[in-house]
C-alpha cells in the first residue's frame, strides 16, 4: 500500500475550520478525572491526569516521545522536581500543585542543543 497525494477532498463529511473541532464526548460516569498534555519546547511534553475526587495529579515528562520522568502531586506532596537529559534535551523543572488556587504551576528551564534554552514560570492548568 502506498501513500498518495490528491487534490480531491477525501474527507467531505468533515468541515474545514480555523480551530480544531471534534465530536468526542467525555464519558458521563467519570467526570472527576481529566487528562491532557502540554508541549513545552520542541520534543518536550508534560502529560497529566487530574483526579478531582482525591486532588491528585499524575504527571510525566516526555522527551522525543519517551517518558523520561514523572511522579504524583497531592495535598501532602504538592511539588514535583524533574531534572535530567535525554538525547539533545536537558531540563530542570518544577511542578507545583496549588490546591487553594486550584491550579498546577510549572517553573524552570529546558534546553535543546540546536535551539537554545527557554525558562518557564507559568500556570499549566486551572480547574
Q: Report if residue 6 sits inside a domain.
A: no
Q: 3 falls in which pLDDT band (50, 70, 90)?
A: very low
CA distance 33 to 44: 24
Q: In the beta sheet, which residues pair with residue 109?
A: 92, 119
Q: Report if residue 2 sits inside a domain.
A: no
Q: Report if residue 71 sits inside a domain.
A: yes
CATH at residue 107: 2.40.128
pLDDT tops 80 at residue 79: yes
pLDDT for res 114: 82
Given the C-alpha cell 525558562, which residue does it identify?
119
Residue range 38-51: average pLDDT? 91
CA–CA–CA angle 44, 109, 47 (5° rounding): 35
Q: Report if residue 8 sits inside a domain.
A: no
Q: Report if residue 4 sits inside a domain.
A: no
For the whole model, what pTM was predicted? Answer: 0.73
pLDDT for res 112: 87
List the single range of 10-19, 44-53, 101-110, 116-125 with lowest mean pLDDT. 10-19
pLDDT for res 93: 93
Q: Report if residue 13 sits inside a domain.
A: no
> Whole domain around residue 50: which residue ranges?
31-126
What's the mean pLDDT when you consider all of the chain? 84
CA distance 13 to 25: 19
pLDDT for res 58: 97
Q: Name the domain count of the chain.
A: 1
Q: Report if residue 25 sits inside a domain.
A: no
Q: Report if residue 64 sits inside a domain.
A: yes
Residue range 18-27: average pLDDT? 53
Amino acid at each position: 500500500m502506498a501513500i498518495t497525494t490528491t487534490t480531491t477532498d477525501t474527507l467531505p463529511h468533515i468541515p474545514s475550520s480555523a480551530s480544531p473541532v471534534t465530536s468526542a464526548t467525555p464519558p458521563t460516569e467519570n467526570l472527576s478525572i481529566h487528562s491532557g498534555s502540554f508541549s513545552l519546547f520542541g520534543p518536550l511534553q508534560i502529560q497529566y491526569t487530574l483526579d478531582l475526587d482525591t486532588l491528585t495529579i499524575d504527571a510525566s515528562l516526555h522527551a522525543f516521545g519517551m517518558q523520561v520522568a514523572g511522579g504524583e502531586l497531592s495535598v501532602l506532596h504538592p511539588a514535583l522536581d524533574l531534572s535530567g537529559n535525554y538525547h539533545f534535551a536537558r531540563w530542570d523543572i518544577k511542578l507545583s500543585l496549588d490546591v487553594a488556587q486550584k491550579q498546577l504551576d510549572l517553573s524552570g528551564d529546558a534546553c535543546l542543543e540546536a535551539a537554545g534554552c527557554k525558562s518557564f514560570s507559568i500556570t499549566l492548568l486551572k480547574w
